[in-house]
Amino acid sequence: MTCPNKMRLEAQAIVLAAGPGMRMTTLTNHTPKCLLPVGTLPMICYPLQLLQEAGFSEVTVVVSIGEEQKMSKLVEQYGLKLNLDIAPVNTSHDPGTADSLRYIVSKIKRSVDDILIVSSDLVTDAKLQLIMDQHRSNGAALTMLTANHQPEFSKATPPGPKTKPTINSDVICTESGTGRLMYAVAGGDYDEFVTLQNRVLKSAKSHDVSSSLVDAHLYIMKRWLLDYILSKESPCEDMGSLKAEILPHIISRQFTKKPSKDRNERKLDIHDVLEKEEYDDLVTKFNSSVVLSRHHNSCQLDARVCCVYHHPGVCVRANTLNSYWELNRRMHSLFEQVYPNSSWSTKHPSANIPEKAQVSEDSLIGSGSVICEKTNITSTVVGNHCRINSFVRLLNCVLGDHITIAAGCVIENSLIATNVERKCTIKNCIVIDPNKIEENGTYTGEILEASQDFA
């Protein structure tokens, strides 16, 4: 990573993009989740652009085996200026995020000070350089990006059969006034109540406990901490999930004492691998900076400290069908914020949009798409290299790439992942299989997919 002022920053970026997208219904049956369109770009482009804006020139991308070629073409297709180091992993047994890191441990550089890990489904206008600056000024072992819970995304109503979101909110506890992370539990890991241990409560004068914040799944951690997490001698060895299992463990280790037993009589402990920053003692003694850091009012430094960086702006994960749908619906107004300084636009210059086609200002039209005359497209995302034939009406829809819509179709409030080859009316549907559509058919509130024949 190199920041704009040419100062070298020792950090490696890893994008986790091998997840199967189990909450995305059948949209991921033939398209990897990380390549599903958000607006007219694959969702992974958003974290890649975030890293590029921060000065990274190389990014390690963890993908499922078989997706290497698709991923390698991304940079050229979408004008990114990054070198992608693609790390394929076997996802046949649905590995957790921590498992994926274990599989690519040889790709993690020994020379870096910090590792930045981000999910491929994060869409945000946060400034990564500011997060890195805070992480280093705090001397933190771990910094987690948090954001305000946005129910308009998590509780949005996508097309298809109606279901209710079942995952609780994350619970995050910080030390009042400092942003030190004291406790965190993922939304799916508790029922009605959470319990704060006494050692957490005694470690700060006051706490802020919130269920209205979300863990954005962007973490910066020291290299020694990742070594501890991935060590076969660590208590983390059998933990598969970074967010649900390993992070709570790391956060809790801030409040423990150094083990009294000899090393050969116990598991590896975080105290065994702590690395203090160079010149810590001198900085503590002579620090007179006006910039607040962990050295102010600190008599004893603790390299285990975990912090949050709270971003009040746009910060959404497209990790459920609800949030994915709502992101697409709002992308016309969010695009300039979450994908800045790009030649890509909401209506790509290469798209063919004739004057007699009615295309609303809040619609997005992708590269190479052809919109025929006498069409009406309102509040809709049309992907790249699509063809919308005459007398088609599209209202509040999301179309993937390379989609053809037959003349005369009326489609409303639907996700279209395949060609619609026959004139029909579709409302509130997810369309996966073109063979499910009959001439002049009418479909409402369905998932049109081949597997329905075998249900």
User: For residue 454, is pLDDT > 70?
Assistant: no
pLDDT band of 162, cuts 50, 70, 90: confident
Maximum mean pLDDT: which of 102-116, 180-194, 276-290? 102-116
pLDDT of residue 104: 94
Report pLDDT for 152: 92
**Banded pLDDT at 189 (limits 50, 70, 90):** low
> Residue 299's pLDDT is what?
38
Above 50 in pLDDT, residue 455? no
Straight-line distance from the first to the last Cα atom of the chain, in angstroms, rounded to the nearest whole number: 49
Give mean pLDDT, residues 334-342: 93
Lowest mean pLDDT among 82-96, 195-209, 373-387: 195-209
Cβ-contact 176, 205 below 8 angstroms: yes
Q: What percent of the chain has pLDDT over 70?
A: 89
Q: Which residues pair with 433 in a beta bridge?
A: none
Q: Assess contact for 171 and 188: CB atoms under 8 A.
A: no
Average pLDDT of the residues of the chain: 87
pLDDT score for 293? 52
Q: Are strands 306-311 and 364-365 parallel, antiparallel or unpaired?
A: unpaired
Question: 271: helix, coil or strand?
Answer: helix
287 has pLDDT over 60: no
Q: State the Cα torsion 20-22-23-24 to the nearest 10°.
A: 60
Query: What mean pLDDT comes out for the span 208-228?
Result: 93
- Token pair, residue 437, equals 């559509």
Closest C-alpha among 111, 97, 137 to residue 296? 137
Q: What values do phi and psi take at 23, rounded to 5? A: -90, 5
Residue 171: pLDDT above 80? yes
Segment 316-327 mean pLDDT: 93
> How many of the other CB atoms lie within 10 Å of CB of 339?
23
Q: Taking residues 421-450, what's their average pLDDT?
A: 95
pLDDT tier for residue 23 given thresholds of 50, 70 and 90: confident
β pairing state of 171-175 and 207-210? antiparallel
Residue 214: Cβ within 10 Å count: 23
Q: What is the CATH number of domain 11-336?
A: 3.90.550.10
Please tell me the pTM assigned to this model: 0.89
For the segment 231-240, the average pLDDT, to the nearest whole number, is 92
Instruction: Give mean pLDDT, residues 397-404.
Output: 96
Q: Which of 25-34, 62-71, 150-159, 287-296 has the lowest mean pLDDT?
A: 287-296
Give the separation between CA 413 and CA 330, rounded to whole angstroms. 14
Res. 384 pLDDT band, cuts 50 70 90: very high
DSSP 420: B
pLDDT at 281 over 80: no
Give the model confidence (pLDDT) of 103-157 as tens digits: 999 999 988 999 999 999 999 999 999 999 999 999 999 999 999 999 999 889 9
What is the per-residue pLDDT for 191? 64
Residues near 354 by beta carbon (within 8 Å), at least 6 away in sequence: 371, 372, 373
Half-sphere exposure of 379 (CA within 13 A, CB side): 11
Structure-token match 């999930």, residue found: 241
**Beta-carbon-side half-sphere exposure of residue 303 (alpha carbons within 13 Å):** 16
Q: Distance between CA 236 and CA 216 in Å, rounded?
A: 21
Instruction: Enter the CATH code of domain 346-454.
Output: 2.160.10.10
Residue 296 confidence class, pLDDT cut points 50, 70, 90: very low
Number of H helices, E strands in the chain: 11, 29
Per-residue confidence band for 413, with pLDDT thresholds at 50, 70 and 90? very high
What integer pLDDT is reported at residue 2 of this predicted model? 47
3-state secondary structure (DSSP) of residue 22 = helix
Is residue 415's pLDDT more than 50? Answer: yes
3-state secondary structure of 216: strand
Domain ranges of the chain: 11-336, 346-454
Calculate the alpha carbon distances from 68 to 48, 72, 99 in Å. Answer: 16, 6, 19
Burial class (CB in 10 A: 0-12, 13-18, 19+), 454: exposed
Report which of 445, 406, 440 is spatially closest to residue 425, judged by C-alpha positions. 440
Residue that wins the pLDDT comparison between 200 and 220:
220
Across 219-223, 281-285, 368-372, 386-390, least confident range? 281-285
Tokens 């850091």 correspond to: 293
**Mean pLDDT for the stretch of residues 334-338:** 95
The residue whose two tokens read 């949009």 is 353
